[in-house]
Amino acid sequence: MVGTNVKAETMSLMEKRSSMEDEMNGIIERLSQPGGPGLSGNLVDSEGFPRADIDVPLVVAERRRLSVLRNDHQEITEKINQYIQVLHGVRHAPKSSPPDSGNKDDSNSQNSSVVNAVASASSQNLVPRGSLGSIDVAMVTSIPFAMVDEIADASPAAEDGLQLGDRIVKFGNVEAGDNLNARLASESLSNRDRPVPTIIMRQGVLINLMVTPRTWHGRGLLGCHFRIL
């Protein structure tokens, strides 16, 4: 019962976080349009006057809203991680064997269906949703630790399938943890010109990509920026 309640709360928080990320992505896209102020660009011209080519009050309001959303997003993510640890404990707690009800074949059939669904979805680069088993797997393994908040056209990241707003679940050997910026940079440098298995979450669906850090005409080996969540 506890596991069920925690699972429901976790799924509710994940939906709330997804809505927040959609709003954040919209703000980032608007601020990052060609000729726009970006996330931290100057709002005054060379003479110190408010820029005439942008709506300064609107930009200030959107930047402030983005800051609030980022803080709320971090709090929700921390709470989700705590709930997932609880779910881990519930799932791995020893259980007494129930009496044989004669439905062993049905149970095996259900387990087989979940396994087959996961295998089928994996071949399509997707993680299935809908069954209790697959939802548990998705919650435990699909906690993003970064988001693509800037990406250059014709960059290695863009050509290999990354998009603005994609949430990074795994990049090579890098998953959630400490020193993520340094670890991401190291992973890119150590895999120059070699495909890096990458798992992203896009619109609630997990997608597998192969992203190859490489030299191009722009900055860095990927041409994108990961914002740590």
End-to-end C-alpha distance for the chain, whole angstroms:
31
CATH number (domain holding residue 214): 2.30.42.10
Q: Per-residue pLDDT for 62 more than 70?
A: yes
How far, in Å, are 31, 91, 102 from residue 95 at the CA level?
53, 9, 19
Q: What is the pLDDT at residue 168?
A: 92
Per the structure, the complete domain to which residue 151 belongs is given by 143-228
Tally of domains in the chain: 3
Range in 9-13, 164-168, 207-211, 218-222 the model is least confident about:
9-13
Mean pLDDT of the chain: 77
Q: Which residue has the higher pLDDT, 96 or 224?
A: 224
122 and 83 belong to one structural domain: no
Instruction: Write out pLDDT tens, residues 173-191.
Output: 998 778 898 999 999 999 9
Is 46 domain-assigned?
A: yes
Residues 8 and 85 grouped into a single domain: yes
Residue ending a domain, choose from 71, 105, 139:
139
- For range 143-162, the mean pLDDT: 90
pLDDT tens track for 25-61:
888 888 888 888 888 888 988 888 999 999 999 999 9
β-sheet with 196-202: strand ranges across: 205-211, 196-202, 167-171, 146-151, 224-228
CB 200 within 8 A of CB 150: no
Q: So what's the pLDDT on residue 86?
A: 76
Residue 107: inside a domain: no
